[in-house]
Amino acid sequence: MDKNLKAVFFGSIGTIAETSEIQRRSYNLAFEKFGIDCYWNVANYCSMLSVPGGKERVKDHTVPNLCKKDIETIHSYKEEFYSQLIEEEDIIRGQFVEVFHHCKASEIKLGLVTTTSKNNIDSLSKIFNTKVNFSDFDIITTNTDCDTPKPDPEVYEKALTSMGLKPEETLAIEDTQVNLHAPIAAKIKTILFPGEYSNYDQSAKPTFDLMNEIFQL
């Protein structure tokens, strides 16, 4: 383990829980409720994950000429369905839980540095309850904490400033290759920990053993 390591940032909800399938199903239910003829299958959705941001995906991959209000409405429907479905599935990524508790025991600070909604964070915190207490994160960011979404580094830069840390004292974990650009631009060391639906190539050096990668156990 790097002796200078003072904080580990989990950069998206996909690094701590396998949410992509529930997200996909929630969008399809939202499209049906809103009344548009659109369906995202697994292959479609995987390809869309190369672009961060659910609202951007709705704009670019549904029907032409949706106005901003319609996009907002569809996205709010999606979050309603997501909050319901997330309680029905076992989606916790076990390696995250291991790393979380090892960091706490080692007095390494923890951040959940996302640009997702507070509703998504609140839904996740409920299903983690006995395994991880979200109040033990030293910082949690949402889409209200930055003006520009990832892969812009803004949210990471704000997390560093808020915690009084230097980039070289931190490590960021992301689940998609495109999101790696955000911590890299903030000069933070990165690890790609892809989920089941993540698109990546081997040049990104993905890891599937977080504990060993971080702590060299």
Check residue 162 and give its pLDDT: 97
- Domains and their CATH numbers in the chain: 7-17+92-215 (3.40.50.1000), 20-88 (1.10.150.240)
Residue type, 31: F
Beta-sheet strands, E only, within the chain: 7-10, 109-113, 139-141, 170-174, 189-192
Q: Could you say which DSSP state residue 15 is in? A: G
CB–CB of 125/83 below 8 Å? no
HSE at residue 38, side-chain half, CA atoms within 13 A, is 25
Half-sphere exposure of 8 (CA within 13 A, CB side): 27
Q: pLDDT tens across 39-74, in order?
A: 999 999 988 887 777 888 999 999 988 999 999 999
pLDDT at 184 over 70: yes
Please give the pLDDT value at position 185: 97
How far apart CA 20 and CA 7 sit, in angstroms, is 26
- pLDDT exceeds 50 at position 207: yes
For 24, 146, 194, 199, 214, the CA distances from 49, given in Å and listed in that order, are: 11, 20, 12, 7, 25
Q: How far, in Å, CA of 163 to CA of 49, rounded?
A: 29
Residue 154: CB atoms within 10 A of its CB come to: 18
pLDDT for res 1: 62
Output the pLDDT for position 217.
46
182 pLDDT higher than 60:
yes
Mean pLDDT across the chain, nearest whole number?
92
pLDDT in tens, 152-176: 999 999 999 999 999 999 999 999 8
User: What distance separates the 2 farthest-apart alpha carbons in the chain?
Assistant: 55
**Of residues 169 and 120, more confidently modeled:** 169
